[in-house]
Amino acid sequence: MNVRLLFTLLIICISLTGCSDEITLENAATPLAHGIDLDEHNKFRFYNTVPLFSKTTKKKSQENSGTAYSLRQSKAQQDAFSPGSIQGRNYQVLLIGKRLLQYEDWFPMLDVLFRDARNTVMDRVIAVDSPLSDVFDLNSKDQPMLPILLRGMVETKSKISETYSTTTQELHRQFHEKGITPYIAEVEIVEKKIKLKGSALLNERGKYEVSFGAQETVMLNILQKKAKPGLSLSYRIPDKPNKGPFATDMLSFSAEKIKTKVITSFQNGRFQFDFHIKMTIGLSEHLFPYDVARDAKKLEKQAAALMQAQIENVIKKLQKHQIDPIGLGLYARAFHYKEYKKVKDHWGKAVADATFHVKVDLTIGAMGPVK
Amino acid sequence: MIEPSDNLLLNQSETISSNLAEIIPHINNLFSDTSDLVIRKLTIKQTGEKAILVYLDGLSDKTAINRDVMRPLQFEAGSGEPGDELIMTVSQIVPVTSWAQIEIALLQGSSVLFVSGRSEAYVLDTQGWPQRAIEDPQLETSLKGAHQGFLETGGQNIAMIRRYIPNRELKMKRVIVGRRGQTVVTILYLADVTDPNLVSTLELRIQKLDVDVILNTGELSELIEDHPFSLFPQFVTTERPDTAASQIMQGRCVVIVDRSPSVLVAPVTFMSFFQNIDDYSTRWSIATFLRLLRIFAFFVATFLPAFYIAVVSYHFEIIPMKLLLTLGESRGQVPFPPFVEAIFMEITLEMLREAGVRLPAPVGQTVGIVGGIVIGQAIVQAGLISNVMVIVVAFTAICSFILPNYDMVAAVRLIRFILMILASLFGFVGLVVGLMTMIAHLISLKSLGMPYGSPLAPVRFVDWKDTFIRVPLWLMKKRPTSTKPIQEMRQGNNRLKEDDL
């Protein structure tokens, strides 16, 4: 009898402890995009867009924004607009305004995303080169929902190396890893539409330094050994004639095999990085007549030289801004720890001082089915 | 203990008298208010003795009585000495002396001949009760297997199994169970394969029974199973002779209960419930695929509604964005919490299923229409239930239909509800605790003293050949070790090597 009583009590106790953190999907407000920026008075401002689960409303989402001190402190304010309780579990994208990126050390503002483990850290971080309020107001009926649009944009383009799909978790790593500086995707608003710009590179304290367009981002990806087959490049071959209004000197190719080799050395008090990039490419267009079957070598050399110049240009830009999105610090730390230790706190400067050698070898693997 | 009634108090050793004038009142006394009792007086031509033939109308084969008993007795003239062996053309004539034996014989359909002046009666094998023809099994239909199902007559059922195993090592143990029912229960096993301990345990358990009657195999199974409070069935009941024969060949015992069209197989393992006789007659790759499908279906049928509840009420962070939007939209208009929604739909499903089983076929169609259109479609349009929930319930139902064993499906149905409650209280934590408890319970179960979780726990890799995958038959050279067979090998090399050809 005692056992039975105990058992009953146990079941009651167990049942009573349940349900405490229950919040059903329809009672929660799950913002899919959130953004942080500064307003014109340099006050911290949050933005979010919450999908509305209702058949009666025409607009499928609700946009909120407000001034606050921090993200968690703003929760009450966010809740105040919403029919449900705001839950940060389903963020798809985190938008960061350019105005905020002009300042250093903003990263701790995101602390709640990591400290409250209910919040997702798989949302993609995107820099916005327009006022953030414009982006959230754009969430219009004739376009896909803003979070779907942005997430899709970043996901698909990062597969062909034209931007970065940096998660909040990855950003956390990039901020705390001394041998690398953060890089994120960047968008802007052009004619009331969101357009992907490429990537935004930050310095080690989070300040915006420089933006790269699609092709430069591809180069950076190649240097990072992150580029995957499928990326596409276009160059104008210098010795080809230009007829009329058409750029008939255009050559485009896509990469089939990419191999990047990095050799790290330390000479004369400075680091030296030798990049050797080997790529097998498939031609996807050349607007000038060319007998590729017979004379592939020459074209390979020409394209390789153009690519090499572009990569060197990319590296120069990085050196100028004293940033290291390639993660060269990791190589330096692995191969020349003693020297690295001395400069690790101002690694950006060490990169600016370093010498680089880039060598590009292209092999044409496919010329397409037409002559 | 049951209090034996007056009838049962009958003196077992009371012998019959040789005087017919005493016998008739005695019979009438024994079978008072028994309108189907027939007492036929006759004179035996062969010896000139007076006699009476007693039988129960309907239980006995009248043609046989007329042709093989009445006719020879009344028309055949023999040597004429009283006390001679009587001329009858029935196959079995058993002389008995006690009233108890006579009573049982009469009640089981034999006819009894009393002859004046003789102190023994003759039990004549004229049984012929109402019987149906052999039909396709109802519950376990098979595509490629035999189309014979067991009948309600134990003797016939034994014969059907014997047709598959014509071997003298196929032995039987006969136990009579039930004070009133006198049910003949027969244990079939292969003497040189089956572990003798199994047979004796099973026999002991059946012998110990003290019940009124056993009407069905399910009753017997409930009375003798190892863990009566477990949700899981611990014996397989089958209505297929080929399945029964195959189980016997694997070293198991088969229990045939007279008057019941299904037989009981013991001991079994959890994985036995996922096997089907068709697995062995289809190609092994297909059989393997189906087996994996069933195991997948088991988990879906058990966990899917609970998983839905847990996700929607606690863990919607794991829902992909696009699904979140559709799910949110359909959940947004439902006035009930997810648990109520799920319980409502699951109970509706169970009701539909139960209604479909019990109703006669023409009315059964109506249930399908009511269930499909009214419940399925209208309920979503009315906004009472979200359409994702309807999909979840439908998928669960389909998955539970795939499982080949009815008893296991019934267990799954109950476990599903327990898990749904756990999920609504604790989310994934509850679900995982439920799963762990279920696994712990499964591997602690025993069937006739043999581990139920075998070959998964205890791990017996040899038996895995017929668990998740079904390897080609020629690779299964040994009988399953879960039954501890005496003779392990069941076949030799069946694939000729190239130089043998």
Rounded to a whole number of angstroms, the distance from the CA of B444 to the nearest CA of chain A is: 20
Between chains, do B314 and A28 touch, taking CB under 8 Å as contact?
A: no
Q: How far apart are CA B146 and CA B281, in angstroms?
A: 11
Ordered by where they begin, the domains of chain A are 26-212 (no CATH), 225-371 (3.30.300.210)
Residue among B317, B319, B328 minimizing CB distance to A26: B328
B280-330 per-position pLDDT tens digit: 999 999 999 999 999 999 999 999 999 999 999 998 889 888 888 888 888
User: Could you give the C-alpha distances from A236 to A241, A285, A358, A363, B85, in angstroms and in order?
Assistant: 10, 11, 20, 18, 121
pLDDT averaged over 10-residue windows placed end to end, chain A, 371 residues = 79 70 83 92 91 79 89 88 86 94 93 91 94 83 82 93 94 93 94 91 93 94 92 90 85 93 92 95 91 90 94 95 94 93 90 94 91 78
Q: Which amino acid is present at A248? A: T
Between chains, do B321 and A89 touch, taking CB under 8 Å as contact?
A: no
Residue among A15, A53, A89 minimizing CB distance to B331: A53
Report the SS3 class of residue B341: helix
Burial (CB count within 10 angstroms: exposed 0-12, middle 13-18, buried 19+), residue A295: exposed
Between chains, do A25 and B427 touch, taking CB under 8 Å as contact?
A: no
Given a cut of 70, whether residue B13 has pLDDT beyond it is no
Instruction: Kindly provide the residue ranges of all beta strands, DSSP E only, lying in B4-131, ordered along the sequence.
Output: 37-43, 50-56, 93-96, 111-115, 121-124
pLDDT confidence of residue A18 = 62
Report the SS3 class of residue B40: strand
Above 0.90 for ipTM, yes or no?
A: no
Chain B residues near residue A84 by CB distance under 8 angstroms = none
Rounded to a whole number of angstroms, the distance from the CA of B425 to the nearest CA of chain A is: 5
More confident residue, B420 or B31: B420
Chain A residues near residue B424 by CB distance under 8 angstroms = 18-19, 22
Contact criterion met (CB below 8 Å) for A251 and A234: yes
Q: What angle do CA B189, B194, B198 make, to 5 degrees?
A: 90
Q: How many CB pairs under 8 A join A and B?
A: 72
Contact criterion met (CB below 8 Å) for B310 and B427: yes
pLDDT confidence of residue B12 = 53
Q: How far apart are CA A305 and CA A237, in angstroms?
A: 10
pLDDT confidence of residue B4 = 42
Q: Hey, how many other C-beta atoms are within 10 angstroms of the C-beta on B403? A: 21
Locate the chain A residue with the closest alpha carbon to B339.
A24
Between chains, do A118 and B430 touch, taking CB under 8 Å as contact?
A: no
Between chains, do B313 and A92 touch, taking CB under 8 Å as contact?
A: no
Percent of chain B with pLDDT over 70: 97
Residue among B312, B337, B425 minimizing CB distance to A15: B425
In this structure, chain B runs to a length of: 501
B70-88 per-position pLDDT tens digit: 898 888 887 767 777 888 8
Burial (CB count within 10 angstroms: exposed 0-12, middle 13-18, buried 19+), residue A86: buried
- Report the phi/psi class of residue A311: left, alpha or beta, with left for phi > 0 and alpha for psi in -120 to 50: alpha
Rounded to a whole number of angstroms, the distance from the CA of B498 to the nearest CA of chain A is: 46
Q: How far apart are CA B492 and CA B498, in angstroms?
A: 17
Give the residue among B301, B477, B491 at the shortest CA–CA distance from B400. Answer: B301
Given a cut of 90, whether residue B381 has pLDDT beyond it is no
Helix axis angle, B406-426 to B338-358, nearest 10°: 170
Residue among B312, B322, B426 minimizing CB distance to A24: B312
Q: How far apart are CA B12 and CA A253, in angstroms?
A: 104
pLDDT confidence of residue B245 = 95
